[in-house]
Structure 1
């Protein structure tokens, strides 16, 4: 996610530093590998911490590299003198404790790096209305999700959403056995590797506005399309939608950022729109800073979809070539086959004299964790 955002900000930075061009060239600022601060996050007035990620831009050749801004002093400041310190949790990520902010006071983020000082504009605290519903409809090759919300006070008008997907999936073969220390053991519940869960934070930007409507209502705003080809709808699928109230300026910032993410050309193509945030370098006011800070609460809603009940052809997410073979049940055969972990036993083959052989397959076809998931069921899973 951080690498993805940095790539976006590189494009935005190019827009700030260059104009459209016909003849290919390397802009001097980019060739010089100028490093500008990127600020991601918002001031959370709800019960959860405020989390900010600080990083640095790089020239286009290194746009995929995430460069955290470490050892910074980060705080949230109120115009009334309140001050809350954010602690560095991981490199470049800073988090506060849960805050109780005064809704009548404006707040800003203040950042002191090893070299320079930065601060955002003071922004008012907005109250995010609850999500009314998250719904979905079937499409030819996936499902389309929608969000509906409203503000009876007509005070919000500008909205942003992001989402976290979690899906359950299974491996090609269910294994009741494991081979270790030159012995075959029966797998129990804690050792089963057939069912996994995996989560992913969506990278798209979803925005909605009711500014042109009489009532502050967002009805069935499309927020996400999940293709069946991803395999996420294989067994069971869940999505957690988070809703944020934005200022008009914040909404316009995210609109430009959304448009810039749709640009897939090089620096020699037409450049993305200029991105103007509300964060400034106090040490050098001419230095660009990438980011926009709003202050609001978060509202969220989770839904579940039983994927295996959907009328789609089964998607095996890479298990199409999986097959089974057999190995005799002798110490030498088992050690030769399973000693290095590449193959995994699946089922025993028995006779009147006991187990005479085992079926087996490669690890990637038996252990669901090979697809990036975990066998630990999430606490929220239904």
Structure 2
């Protein structure tokens, strides 16, 4: 979600710059105006809360400029102050704390150039937990797959506005795996030995086949959601959630064996929901110079010295809950073939380790081994069967470390 916010921040500045022009326009980046970008959500989890500060960046720049050296702290209406310190790409509270019901919290920032910013006061939202996550076979837009839903209920009918994030983790099995691996061994030159009558031998590169020393057949990959996921229950007679958070086609390799999703649910107030909804709508508006140009819009962060200064971002205090779900492909699609693998080209390639005309292919074989483009499948004498690395060694694109939460 953070990368998404960076893109949106650039979008907003450009949209503001071109105002409401709807004619064709050649954009010239001569009036770039910097703006502070604030990403801040504190929750009812006891932890080191985090705030991220950056600047919007120009078209020719590769990414956001982090706001370094700022003094960041949060105050509440009980006189408490929570100081943050700079850590890598964000600011983290020096001591763990959690948002308490009924208290009013306010974010305050002083940049290294002496500019001061403050947020509106925010109160912790209703604490409503996720009841469960479900995974069922479904057909969505003509595609068969797995529909994952979040279920919950607020009997007091006060939650209403929801934002979600998830991290999915999945097991990968290399389809053409061998317990052996190939490597190139440099054999030094051997001088002639007249006493033994042995001739000189030049230096050479031998192919060594040996047992693998690390796990390369089974791997685990994780991926975070990268979009704003929102839901509201305003149109319902009760505050009941049955929300489809993720659909995965049965042709997607990530569910081939075992899959897990960890979902976090943030309860928002109307202002926070409206802000994120606007960001989400802008991301699908068709581009900076489209007829839907909205101009600049503000969150709830203001400059103390210059209230008209443009500041992007929103400080919110959200009640959060989380749940994890596991499922196996074989449980949902018993007897059905597995989805296509991550690498579509798993053709077995044959090589003969000799120098000369075909079928000799020793040079190509060594090149493939040295570059790690090819891995061993089987061999006999000077004949080798090789496959692309991804087909026989899942660590070429994933990790062999079993996640601490994983349950088979």
TM over 0.5: yes
Which residue in 2 is equivalent to 1:352? none
Cα displacement (A) at 1:153: 2.9
How has the CA–CA distance of structure 1 residues 317 and 335 changed in structure 2, closer, same or farther, with 3 Å as cutoff?
closer
How has the CA–CA distance of structure 1 residues 335 and 206 changed in structure 2, closer, same or farther, with 3 Å as cutoff?
closer
Are 2:315 and 1:293 equivalent residues in the alignment? yes
CA distance in 2, matches of 1:62, 1:156: 42
How has the CA–CA distance of structure 1 residues 66 and 175 changed in structure 2, closer, same or farther, with 3 Å as cutoff?
farther
Cα displacement (A) at 1:102: 3.6
Cα displacement (A) at 1:239: 1.0
**Greater shift in the superposed pair: 241-250 or 122-131:** 122-131
Contact kept, 8 Å, 1:7 with 1:64, in 2: the verdict is no
Uncovered stretches (5+) of structure 1, i.e. residues with no partner: 350-354
Contact kept, 8 Å, 2:346 with 2:387, in 1: the verdict is no
**Greater shift in the superposed pair: 242-251 or 269-278:** 269-278
**Secondary structure class of the residue paired with 1:258:** helix
Which residue in 2 is equivalent to 1:345? 376
Are 2:249 and 1:227 equivalent residues in the alignment? yes
Contact kept, 8 Å, 2:251 with 2:339, in 1: the verdict is no
Which residue in 1 is equivalent to 2:223? 200
CA distance in 2, matches of 1:102, 1:241: 22
Contact kept, 8 Å, 2:42 with 2:98, in 1: the verdict is no
TM-score normalised to the size of structure 2? 0.80
Cα displacement (A) at 1:258: 1.5
CA distance in 1, matches of 2:75, 2:158: 24
Are 2:325 and 1:303 equivalent residues in the alignment? yes
Which residue in 1 is equivalent to 2:192? none
**Secondary structure class of the residue paired with 1:153:** coil
Cα displacement (A) at 1:278: 0.5
Give per-residue Cα distances to partners, 1:316-349, cap 9 Å, x unaligned: 22233432425569xxx68676345343222344
How has the CA–CA distance of structure 1 residues 217 and 69 changed in structure 2, closer, same or farther, with 3 Å as cutoff?
same
Contact kept, 8 Å, 1:344 with 1:366, in 2: the verdict is yes
Contact kept, 8 Å, 2:44 with 2:319, in 1: the verdict is yes
CA distance in 2, matches of 1:14, 1:343: 46
Contact kept, 8 Å, 2:217 with 2:394, in 1: the verdict is yes
Cα displacement (A) at 1:130: 0.9
CA distance in 1, matches of 2:83, 2:180: 51
Give per-residue Cα distances to partners, 1:109-163, cap 9 Å, x unaligned: 2222222221211101224311012223322243232211112233322111111
CA distance in 2, matches of 1:120, 1:365: 52
Q: CA RMSD in A?
A: 2.9
**Greater shift in the superposed pair: 6-15 or 71-80:** 6-15
Which residue in 1 is equivalent to 2:199? none
Q: How many residues align?
A: 369
How has the CA–CA distance of structure 1 residues 49 and 192 changed in structure 2, closer, same or farther, with 3 Å as cutoff?
same
Contact kept, 8 Å, 1:327 with 1:360, in 2: the verdict is no
Cα displacement (A) at 1:78: 1.1
Contact kept, 8 Å, 1:167 with 1:197, in 2: the verdict is yes
Contact kept, 8 Å, 1:40 with 1:291, in 2: the verdict is yes
Which residue in 1 is equivalent to 2:134? 135
Which residue in 1 is equivalent to 2:234? 211
CA distance in 2, matches of 1:156, 1:63: 40
Contact kept, 8 Å, 2:132 with 2:152, in 1: the verdict is yes
CA distance in 1, matches of 2:257, 2:300: 44
Which residue in 2 is equivalent to 1:271? 293
CA distance in 2, matches of 1:143, 1:63: 40
Equivalence map 1:1-382=2 (5 Å): 1-25=1-25, 31-59=30-58, 61-62=59-60, 65-91=63-89, 93-96=90-93, 97-115=95-113, 116-137=115-136, 138-139=138-139, 140-180=143-183, 182=185, 183-188=208-213, 191-218=214-241, 220-272=242-294, 275-309=297-331, 310=333, 311=336, 314-327=339-352, 338-349=369-380, 358-371=384-397, 373-382=398-407
CA distance in 2, matches of 1:305, 1:141: 16
TM-score normalised to the size of structure 1? 0.85
Cα displacement (A) at 1:308: 4.8
